[in-house]
Amino acid sequence: MTINTHPTLPEFEYILPQTLVEASEFLSRYPAEARPFLGGTDVFVRMRDGFLTPKFLVDVKNLNGTNDLRFDPQSGLTLGAAVNMNRVISSPEVQAHYPLLAEACRSVASYPLRTRATIVGNICNASPAGDTIGACLALDGVLNIHGVNGPRQEPLGSFFLGPGKTTLKPGDIVTAIRFPIPPKGCAGTYLKLGRNQLSDLAIVGVTALGQPDSSCRSGYRFRLALASVAPVPLIPAEAETYLANHSITPESLHEAARLSAEACSPIDDVRGSARYRKQMVRNLSAKALTAVWKNLS
């Protein structure tokens, strides 16, 4: 067997559309051959490794609104698709109102990679290991999508269909992700377990967000999202419901962590066994929920 130690990119044609309509029409005309890209940190690696062979790469970075990062005290945060992760991390509005989003971005690889990588690319890549997806789910992200029939919106919660699979149709371009104003008094955290501290995908990732909520019997609502433990980013609904209905104590937080691990269906792979992943979900969920609870009380 010959191993190619210097794999290179296959040939492709670079397409730079001037408008969203033009981009969308091009992508729908060549559904099997054209692919949109932002930072390219997933696309180019997959092309180099032979998993993707698009004839056309359609640059959607400079289209209308895709570079905007806007905060409105009434409607919340809009992150254009092309806003890279370092811009998210250094935004004063994100730091003040959505620190969980900044924390999730900081967990992704390294500073140089984050100058290219985007949250929308992380989402559209639809890897169950995507580090920023949990924060986007917990913060109720909604995608703005431009398709051949014009713009539409789609909640992130129903976007993922399987590894690498989403509800996007040929011609669809995600132009932004929007977040409502976060609940008053909320606190969150993202805990990632990787094989090293730098530049590794999550063996397991746990996002936790809590908020005071008088409509819950416990007086608090917790959101959880799990990375790398199911075919899609996973929300362990039973654990969330349990905490809504039981007084918050160290014991109930640990029971929720157990339920969180129960919800997972991880696989064995080079980064960890299914058994190890389940145990780590339990440990990290307990740790994340306890940390969030401390910040709430």
Ligand X SMILES: Cc1cc2nc3c(=O)[nH]c(=O)nc-3n(C[C@H](O)[C@H](O)[C@H](O)COP(=O)(O)OP(=O)(O)OC[C@H]3O[C@@H](n4cnc5c(N)ncnc54)[C@H](O)[C@@H]3O)c2cc1C
- Cβ atoms of 122 and 128 within 8 Å: the answer is no
Q: Which element (helix H / strand E) includes 281?
A: helix 274-296
Task: Tell how far CA 71 is from the center of its chain.
Answer: 20
Task: Tell how far CA 90 is from the center of its chain.
Answer: 18
Binding flag, residue 120, ligand X (CB under 6 A): yes
In the complex, what is the shortest distance from the CB of residue 176 to ligand X, in angstroms, rounded to a whole number?
Answer: 9
State the number of CA atoms in the 13 A half-sphere of 29 facing the CB: 9
Contact string (CB under 6 A) for ligand X, positions 51-70, x = contact: ---------x----------
Among the candidate windows 8-16, 105-113, 215-223, 237-245, which touches ligand X by CB under 6 A? 105-113
- Cβ atoms of 169 and 161 within 8 Å: the answer is no
Enumerate residues 196-215 that contact ligand X by CB under 6 A: 199, 201
Binding flag, residue 163, ligand X (CB under 6 A): no
Among the candidate windows 93-101, 113-121, 152-160, 177-185, which touches ligand X by CB under 6 A? 113-121
CA–CA separation, 83 and 92 (whole Å) = 14
Among the candidate windows 72-80, 118-126, 216-224, 257-265, which touches ligand X by CB under 6 A? 118-126
> What Cα–Cα distance (Å) separates residue 237 from each residue in 187, 222, 262, 264?
19, 10, 11, 11
DSSP bridge pairs for 147: 150
Binding flag, residue 103, ligand X (CB under 6 A): no
Tally of CB atoms within 10 A around 77: 24
> What Cα–Cα distance (Å) separates residue 151 from each residue in 21, 24, 169?
10, 11, 13
In the complex, what is the shortest distance from the CB of residue 273 to ligand X, in angstroms, rounded to a whole number?
Answer: 20
Binding flag, residue 78, ligand X (CB under 6 A): no
Among the candidate windows 41-49, 150-158, 240-248, 289-297, which touches ligand X by CB under 6 A? 41-49
Binding flag, residue 38, ligand X (CB under 6 A): yes
Binding flag, residue 76, ligand X (CB under 6 A): no
In the complex, what is the shortest distance from the CB of residue 242 to ligand X, in angstroms, rounded to a whole number?
Answer: 28
Residues near ligand X, by CB under 6 A: 35-43, 45, 60, 81, 108-109, 113, 116-118, 120-122, 124-125, 129-131, 168, 173-174, 199, 201
